[in-house]
Amino acid sequence: MTEFSLSDLESVIRERAHSGDPDSWTAKLFARGIDKAAQKLGEEAVETVIAAVGGDRQALVSESADLIYHWLVVLGVAGIPLADVLTELERRTSRSGIAEKASRQDRG
């Protein structure tokens, strides 16, 4: 099995986003804008939580894939590259989670 990364998925989403393919869910989400993309992200987040709480391993795997896909679509529609999120995560790992969270609360 080859290694498939979030960057690979981001590239696929970027390619399909403005393809005009009537059968592309990605193209449809981009055409409908941030409100629809964010709505789908929220729905997938709830479905992921339900699968986790229900202890359904396969559903959790499937819903997690949907969640990550829709999260990357939202980032794409918003014009935010995955690299920006990864940079932020890297910045946050330079100190403890408690200290990092406290610093965000201090910013308002």
pLDDT, tens digit, 9 for 90 and up, residues 11-68: 999 999 999 999 999 999 999 999 999 999 999 999 999 999 999 999 999 999 999 9
Run of H or E including 52: helix 34-54
pTM of the model: 0.85
What residue type is assigned to position 24 of the chain?
S
What pLDDT score was predicted for residue 98?
73
First to last CA, the chain: 45
What pLDDT score was predicted for residue 106?
65
Is the pLDDT assigned to residue 97 strictly greater than 70? no
pLDDT band for position 1 (cuts 50, 70, 90)? low
What pLDDT score was predicted for residue 7?
96
Q: How many Cβ atoms sit within 10 Å of the Cβ of residue 70?
A: 22
Burial class of residue 45 (count of CB atoms within 10 Å of its CB; 0-12, 13-18, 19+): middle
Is the pLDDT assigned to residue 92 strictly greater than 90? no
What pLDDT score was predicted for residue 100?
60
Those residues whose C-beta lies under 8 Å from the C-beta of residue 78, and which sit 6 or more positions away, are 34
CA atoms within 13 A on the CB side of 103: 10
